[in-house]
Amino acid sequence: MAKKSLSSGRREESLSQERIIEASIELLDSSGESGLTFRALAERLATGPGAIYWHIDNKTDLLTAACDAIIARTMQESRSGDTAKQSIRAVALGIFDAIDAHPWVGSALTHAPGQLPVVRILERIGQQVRAMGVPADKQWATVSALLNYILGVSGQNAANTHMARTRGLDRANFLGAIANDWSQLDPVEYPFTRSIAGQLPIHDDRLDFVAGIDLILDGL
Amino acid sequence: MAKKSLSSGRREESLSQERIIEASIELLDSSGESGLTFRALAERLATGPGAIYWHIDNKTDLLTAACDAIIARTMQESRSGDTAKQSIRAVALGIFDAIDAHPWVGSALTHAPGQLPVVRILERIGQQVRAMGVPADKQWATVSALLNYILGVSGQNAANTHMARTRGLDRANFLGAIANDWSQLDPVEYPFTRSIAGQLPIHDDRLDFVAGIDLILDGL
DNA sequence: ACCTGAACACCGTTCAAGT
DNA sequence: ACCTGAACACCGTTCAAGT
């Protein structure tokens, strides 16, 4: 008997960087960072682990490439904004939302300094900072403050959702558990943390994120 | 023949959390994040991998505990500062330097949201923000902006030194290599990144870091 | 109570051998 | 040129067995 075309949704194409990256993203989204293994990837692509190495150098590169695919999409979608400030806000929020949806992108960005995905963000922000008329000798400091803030908050946010998923909780319950820990800290040593514990589960991270961006933009 | 007391610097004490954490820090400092394994740790402590599990629950906890030891020390050392602003600058710089000396602390902080090491920093900044007279309803946003910025920059900085070490380069050479990549980007798509490439290897990260802190503080 | 060390169930990566 | 899949050198973690 000849093999029927029992394609399960997808045609039988040969392996390629794109197909590998696409499958990696699916795996990362569904099973998190630890879900991306060459064996799981090989099974999903109906091949052996060795085949993947023909198209990709190592796991680090694979993760950076998957991260770049998400960031590239995000940058294309967040082109809106009439003024430079609005454009910066739009990029920042785009990244925030992308990392919220794909937590693994947060740590991938942190572990690939100076690489393509980070450069895409850097460039976009840099062009807007220039458009705002920031003098040349202050552009670097401004852009790097913004970039670091964006990557920092998004990374922390991703860590939260990732930890929550790891423990099988939703975000609210996870933050609630931390708030509970905080409220039981020593009142003498940790007065501030205790006092804001209640705000942790209810406050809007996204709103505070934009507030921080504005804080930096206004400081110029 | 009876065993002589061939102690190599350290008395033969029984295993304990402190000794394990101390050995972990030494291992992390000398061989990086990938150098911390239960087998290497067991060898350094002259015991078996299983023994460590009697004192520590798992590797994640071990890393957080090692991170906390460094942060606790750092917080004690950076108590200086006459005004609240100066105090915040002092803590920020203390953390920056600590993470520069122990790059693994950067990613450990990122992966332990809401845990003790982060809370130590949060508390210190929170108390100073209060002392500055920031109104209660804006304290959270202010503190979280500062905290995220500090963790973000320090994390990126740690990633740089870590990547440099991984490739056997010093920091300057590593940044030089990235600058070289940047200067070869498409001039139409990446004008800004190209234009600042030259500044990457020579600019002072520490200085820009404080500049960013001031930017946020001034925005209040 | 605390330690030992073999064993389990994984990893990323390589490489001879196939087509 | 591209793929296969066994093999290598590791991991974190567990657990019966010892003291």
B205 C-beta neighbours (distance < 10 Å), count: 16
For residue A152, the chain B residues in CB contact (below 8 A) are 148-153, 155-156
Beta strand residue intervals within A29-95, DSSP E: none
Say how many CB pairs under 8 Å bridge A and B: 155
Q: What are the two backbone dihedrals, phi and then psi, of residue B2, each rounded to the nearest 5 degrees?
A: -80, 150
Tell me if B148 and A144 make a contact (CB, 8 A cut-off).
Answer: no
- Domains defined along chain B, listed by start: 1-57 (1.10.10.60), 80-218 (1.10.357.10)
User: In this structure, what token pair is assigned to residue B182?
Assistant: 């940047």
| Rounded distance between C-alpha atoms, residue A144 and residue A165, angstroms | 31
Dihedral sign for Cα atoms in the order B38, B42, B48, B53 = negative
A103 C-beta neighbours (distance < 10 Å), count: 24
Q: Which one is predicted more confidently, A92 or B12?
A: A92
Tell me if A156 and B219 make a contact (CB, 8 A cut-off).
Answer: no
What is the overall mean pLDDT for chain A?
A: 90
Q: Any idea how long chain A is? A: 220
Nearest to B208 among A110, A144, A149 (CB): A144
Provide the pLDDT for residue A25: 98
Provide the pLDDT for residue B4: 29
Average pLDDT over residues A101-114: 93
Return the DSSP state at B2.
Answer: P
B183 sits within 7 Å of strand C by its CB:
no
Provide the pLDDT for residue B13: 67
B14 sits within 7 Å of strand D by its CB:
no
Provide the pLDDT for residue A169: 85
Cα distances (angstroms) measured from residue A166 to each of A171, B58, B152, B207: 11, 15, 23, 38
Chain B residues 184 to 203 whose Cβ lies within 7 Å of strand C are: none
pTM: 0.91
pLDDT digits (tens, 9 = 90+) for A31-45: 999 999 999 999 999
pLDDT along chain B (220 residues), means of 10: 31 80 97 96 96 97 98 93 92 95 94 95 97 93 91 87 86 94 98 96 90 84
pLDDT digits (tens, 9 = 90+) for A129-147: 999 999 999 899 899 989 9
Tell me which amino acid residue B62 is.
L
Q: What are the two backbone dihedrals, phi and then psi, of residue B62, each rounded to the nearest 5 degrees?
A: -60, -45
| Interatomic distance B152 CA / C13 C1' (Å) | 32
Tell me if B110 and A208 make a contact (CB, 8 A cut-off).
Answer: no
Provide the pLDDT for residue A29: 97
| A-chain residue closest to B189, CA distance | A123
Confidence of residue A5 (pLDDT cuts 50, 70, 90): very low
B15 sits within 7 Å of strand C by its CB:
yes
Nearest to A110 among B144, B159, B200 (CB): B159
pLDDT digits (tens, 9 = 90+) for B111-128: 999 999 999 999 999 999
Q: Which of A109-113, A184-188, B26-30 comes out lowest in average pLDDT? A: A109-113
Average pLDDT over residues A192-199: 96
| Rounded distance between C-alpha atoms, residue A110 and residue A178, angstroms | 24
Provide the pLDDT for residue A84: 95
Residue nearest to nucleotide C3 (CA to C1'): B51
Provide the pLDDT for residue A12: 52
